[in-house]
Amino acid sequence: MEPLMAVTIGILFAAAIYMMLRRSIVKLVVGLILLSNAANLLIFATAGMLRGAPPLVPQGLSAPANMVADPLPQALVLTAIVIAFGVLSFAVVLVRRAWEIVRADDLDKMKDTDT
Amino acid sequence: MSPEIALPILIPLMAGAVSLVFWRSRLMQRLIAVGATAGLLITTLWLLASVNREGILVMQMGGWAAPFGISLVADLLGAIMVVLTGIIGFSVAVYSLATTGRGHEAYGYFPLMHLLLAGVAGAFLTGDIFNLYVWFEVMLVASFALLILGSEKAQMEGAIKYVALNLLSSVIFLIAVGLLYGMVGTLNMADIARRLAMVEDQGMVDALAMMFMVAFGIKAGAFPLFFWLPASYHTPPVAVSALFAGLLTKVGVYALFRVFTLIFHHSPGYTHEILLWGAGLTMLTGVLGAAAQFEFRRILSFHIVSQIGYMILGLALFTPLAVIGGVFYIMHHIIVKTNLFLVSGIIHRLRGSYQLKQLGGFYRSHPWLAVLFLIPALSLAGIPPLSGFLAKFIVIRAGIEAEAYGVTAIALLVGLLTLYSMIKIWSEVFWKSVPPEGDVDPYPEVRQRELWLMAAPVAGLALCTLFIGLYPAPIYALAEASAAQLLDPQGYIRAVLGAQTEMVP
């Protein structure tokens, strides 16, 4: 499972970086979305891929008997997904407003504030 | 139980929520803004006093014991930073009463300002690395919305760069946190520091240190990651610019200080070397960028970048004196830089322009404003007896003592170039006679009351600068004590985790 995850995450990162390096701002946002999903998967994978080992403590014991999956990264991923959702929806609205005002989808035409 | 640790976060959060309730009432929002930021300032001073008296204060959220719950930790550096947040928050709130237009207030300027302050204070006080990420995001979302308030063309262009690069930095930060957790299995910064000392794979630790450096370097605006800053900071309403200039990049600098003194201090090998040269190049590129500009706020934005270099230099040299210098520099810089942005706002209000070419004759028409500009400007350049002189003096002396002559020479040169670009503003805006009619838009009308509201925070911050410059002993003692705490991570770990320092697997 781990090698498959690693390859998937790698492909996601590569796609994200490719999209972010394009000039179009829509593709920039797509790249950011892919990037945050890649990061979430990466955190998910750091917990270790254990099958059928929920972090539940059997009755009568104070600690789980066998090795269990670590629940904390999943909590982190949930938090990160929520935050990324909020921030990325802002970015999508921003791109739309920017297109309405600047009338350009091309980052090379947005250089007024650079120099 | 000491409530003053949580209050600097709770007050702005509550104030933001309450001002949302009064969405339509302009008067109530303004009253809450001034009242809550004044309250924030008072509680932060209270926090600083108790931290100074009792040492590092810790609060466990929800009563969960240290490595499992989220801890709020106020050491001296954190307490100093929230006091500065309080000072800047209060000054900008008073200033916004005069400069924020009805349109901006109708779209939630004040609630967003409170949210931003809550995020900044949270980042300074948290002792949990994932919680730090969350506060960064709170701060970022508020700053995104503040940045595009008004939706002008330049704001949109600046905002796209700002949003894209800051999101990138957040993702890098998140990945680094995830990998760090995968390695040590904890998120509490004190616990991470303790366990990381026992990790065998030092190569991975160095890689993580680099990821944190890049993530916080983007936030702080360090070379070569600063390009979003001068592209965006001059576009929003001036009160927003001032707030950003004072606080946002400094959160990145604070995070660098925290992470590199507490967590990654075991192998200060090449990471500190990279930080050192990054600091030197940050100073140089920032000041050269400023020399080429002829727009008031753009010059100041580039100077934020160059000044960040001095603070990182203090961290990178990593001697006791250098860290003292870095902390002192942060205190001096936040006050001075915000003040300069506020002055540029007054000039814009009086003449309707930020272009140096279109301005002139202020020394004749508003001599008091000339004095108010000169204090922070000369302080920024490091002219004695103002605060910037002492800050630069400590950092440069630490550089010479550490025998880092190359970077120290850059620091001295950058001081000179800073003076050049401050003098450029001075001669263009204040000394030059008013350019012939036709170049200048008709002057907007300004009421006397508004002028007072704008001048009062500027004068207050100028007094702070003078105080730091003329009576530096207590400030230096604070910086010294906080540097001593930073260089002794064991004290921090003991304060957070209690006396039990033996390892539990």
Q: What is the per-residue pLDDT across B89-106, written as a single tens digit (0 to 9) for each?
A: 999 999 998 888 777 877
Examine the pLDDT at B438 and tell me if it is beyond 70.
no
Which of B251, B133, B122 is closest to A80 using CA atoms? B133
B231–A90 C-beta distance less than 8 A = no
Average pLDDT over residues B44-55: 91
What is the rounded average pLDDT of the residues B377-403?
90
* One-character DSSP codes across B384-440: TTSHHHHHHHHHHHHHHHTT-HHHHHHHHHHHHHHHHHHHHHIIIIIISPPPPTTSS
Of B168, B178, B235, the CB nearest to A42: B178
Asked if the Cβ–Cβ distance from A79 to B134 is below 8 Å, we say yes
Distance CA B385, CA B464 (A): 13
For chain A, say whether B139 makes contact (Cβ under 8 Å).
Answer: no
CA B265 to chain centre: 23
Domains of chain A: 2-50+71-109 (1.10.287)
Residues 6+ away with beta carbon under 8 Å from B402: B317, B319, B322
pLDDT of residue B264: 84
* pLDDT at res. B505: 41
Residue A36 has a pLDDT of 93
Helix (H, G, I), strand (E, B) or coil at B261: helix
Closest CA to B390 of B281, B312, B316, B474: B474
pLDDT at position B152, please? 83
Cβ distance of A87 and B154 shorter than 8 Å: no
Q: How confident is the model at residue B452 (pLDDT cuts 50, 70, 90)?
A: confident
State the sign of the Cα–Cα–Cα–Cα dihedral B146, A88, B234, B275. positive
Mean pLDDT of B15-23: 91
**pLDDT tens per residue across span A34-92:** 999 999 999 888 877 777 777 778 787 777 777 777 888 888 999 999 999 999 999 99
**Is residue B240 within 8 Å of residue B158, measured between CB atoms?**
no
* pLDDT at B268 > cutoff 80: no
Q: What is the Cα–Cα distance from B304 to B222, expressed in whole angstroms? A: 10
Write out pLDDT tens, residues B186-208.
888 988 888 887 877 788 888 89
Six-digit token string for B71: 């801890």
pLDDT band, residue B504 (cuts 50/70/90): very low
What type of residue is B77?
L
Q: How far is B489 from chain A (nearest CA, A)?
A: 26
If you average pLDDT over residues B438-442, what whole number do you get? 57
Q: Roughly how many angstroms between the first and final C-alpha of chain B, as a whole number?
A: 30
Q: CB–CB of A28 and B153 under 8 A? A: no
Cis omega before residue B474 (within 30°)? Answer: no
A2–chain B Cβ distance below 8 A for any pair:
no
- Kindly tell me the sign of the dihedral angle through the C-alpha atoms of A34, A35, A40, A45: positive
Q: Which of B137, B136, B124 is nearest to B258 (CA)?
A: B124
Integer CA distances (angstroms), A113 to A22, B41, B155, B454, in order: 19, 35, 9, 27
Residue B219 contacts residue B166 (beta carbons within 8 Å):
yes
Place of tokens 């030059």: B432
Residues 6+ apart with CB under 8 A from A33: A84, A88
**Gap between the Cα atoms of B189 and B233, Å rounded:** 32
Element (H, E) at B400: helix B387-401
pLDDT tens for B301-344 read: 999 999 999 999 999 888 899 999 999 999 999 999 999 999 99
Which of B369, B377, B239, B359 has its CA nearest to residue B303?
B377
Phi, psi for residue B480 in degrees, rounded to 5? -65, -45
A and B: number of Cβ contacts within 8 A:
103
Place of tokens 């794979």: B201
Contact residues, chain B, for A47 at CB < 8 Å: 182
At B93, list the tokens.
């709130």
**What's the predicted TM-score (pTM) here?**
0.93
Task: Measure B158 CA to nearest chain A CA, in Å.
Answer: 6
Structure tokens at B256: 């660098």
Q: Do B171 and A47 touch (CB under 8 A)?
A: no
Interface of A with B in 16-75 (CB under 8 A): 20, 25, 28, 32, 35-36, 39, 42-43, 46-47, 70, 72-73
DSSP secondary structure letter of residue B352: S
Q: Say how many C-beta atoms besides its own lie within 10 A of residue A96's C-beta.
A: 13
Q: Which residues of B259-270 are buried (b: 16+ CB within 10 A; e: fewer)?
A: bbbbbbbeeeee
Specify whether the CB–CB gap between B330 and B259 falls below 8 A: no
Q: Which of A39, A79, A112 sits opposite B154 (nearest CB)?
A: A112
B134's tokens: 């969350």
Query: By mean pLDDT, which of B200-204, B306-310, B346-350, B429-433 is the weakest?
Result: B200-204
Q: Which residue of B140, B152, B232 is in closest CB contact with A87?
A: B140
Q: What angle do CA B408, B414, B418 make, to 5 degrees?
A: 150
Is a pLDDT exceeding 60 seen at residue B440? no
Token pair for B38: 């004044």
Structure token digits, residue B472: 């530096």
SS3 per residue for B65-125: CCCCCCEEEECHHHHHHHHHHHHHHHHHHHHHHHHCCHHHHHCCHHHHHHHHHHHHHHHHH
Q: Pick B65 or B378 by higher pLDDT.
A: B378
Contact at 8 Å (CB) between B357 and B295? no
Q: Are B370 and B363 in contact, with CB atoms under 8 Å apart?
A: yes
- Please give the angle made by the CA atoms of B273, B282 and B244, to the nearest 5 degrees: 125
Residues 6+ apart with CB under 8 A from A56: A64, A68
CB-based contact, B221 to chain A, within 8 Å: no
> Half-sphere exposure of residue B181, counting CA atoms within 13 Å on the CB side?
29
**In angstroms, rounded to a whole number, what is the distance separating the alpha carbons of residues B56 and B276?**
29
**Cα separation of A114 and B141, whole Å?**
23
Going by pLDDT thresholds of 50, 70 and 90, the confidence category of residue B362 is confident
